[in-house]
Amino acid sequence: MSDNGDGPVFEAYESKKPLSVGPGFYAALVKAVEPVTGKFGEQVRFTFALDGSDEEAWAWSSAKCGTATKLWKWAAALGHPPTVGQPFKVQSLVGARARLAVQEKPDTEGNIRSYVADVLRAEGPVTAGPAPKQAESEPTPDRCFCGQVVHTYAEDGRPLCERHSAEAATVPA
C-alpha cells in the first residue's frame, strides 16, 4: 500500500487457491520471504514449496524479530537463528528446508480451510534446493513408526502419532 496524495493506493494481486492438503506435517522448501503490509501491520510472508507437489503454502509472521517472536522462532527452526543486537536479513531464509504443521479452521464464510500453523525444524540433513518429486501428485504427511499420521515429534525428533505421543508422555524420565 502507498499513498499518492489522493488517499491509499493498493496493489491488486491474484489470490492463491486455498491449501488443499489436510492436517499433518509436511516437508517443504522456503521459496520466498517478503515484507508485506497486512491487516495486523508490517508482516513477513513466507512462501513454501511442498515436497512432492506443485502446491505452495503461505505463512505470516510479524516483522518484529525479538527473541519471543514467531519470526525469531521460525528463523531458528530454519537453521538461521538471529543474533541479538545484529541486523537480520530475512532473505537468508530462502532455500531453507522446513517441516510445516498444517491445521484446519473455519474461514469467514464458515468453510473449513487448511493453513500453516507452525514452521518447524526439518528432519534429516538440512540442504537447500528442492527435494526430489514423489510419485504421488499430493504431498504426504509424516508417519509414526506404527504408520499413523504424525501428531507431534519427540524431543529426539522421532515422529509420533497421537497414541504414541500420549504413551511417551506417561513414561517416567
> What is residue 167's predicted lDDT score, i.e. its pLDDT?
76
Smallest CA-to-CA distance from 22 within 123, 125, 149 is with: 149
Q: Which domain holds residue 60?
A: 20-124
Overall size of the chain counted in residues: 173
Q: What is the mean pLDDT of the chain?
A: 79
User: pLDDT per residue over 110-135, tens digit each?
Assistant: 888 899 999 999 976 444 333 344 44
CATH number of the domain residue 86 falls in = 2.40.50
Smallest CA-to-CA distance from 82 within 61, 102, 57, 59 is with: 61
The values of phi and psi at residue 114, to 5°, are -85, 145
∠ CA 107-109-110, nearest 5°, is 65
Same domain, 57 and 88: yes
Same domain, 159 and 83: no
Structural domain contains residue 92: yes
Please give the tally of structural domains in the chain.
2
Q: Which residues of the chain have pLDDT under 50?
A: 1, 125-138
Same domain, 147 and 109: no
Same domain, 43 and 111: yes
Judge whether 50 and 134 are in contact, CB under 8 Å: no
Judge whether 141 and 101 are in contact, CB under 8 Å: no
Judge whether 69 and 169 are in contact, CB under 8 Å: no
> What is residue 130's predicted lDDT score, i.e. its pLDDT?
38
The Cα–Cα gap between 11 and 76 comes to: 32
* 3-state secondary structure (DSSP) of residue 83: coil
Judge whether 98 and 88 are in contact, CB under 8 Å: no
Same domain, 93 and 50: yes
Structural domain contains residue 15: no
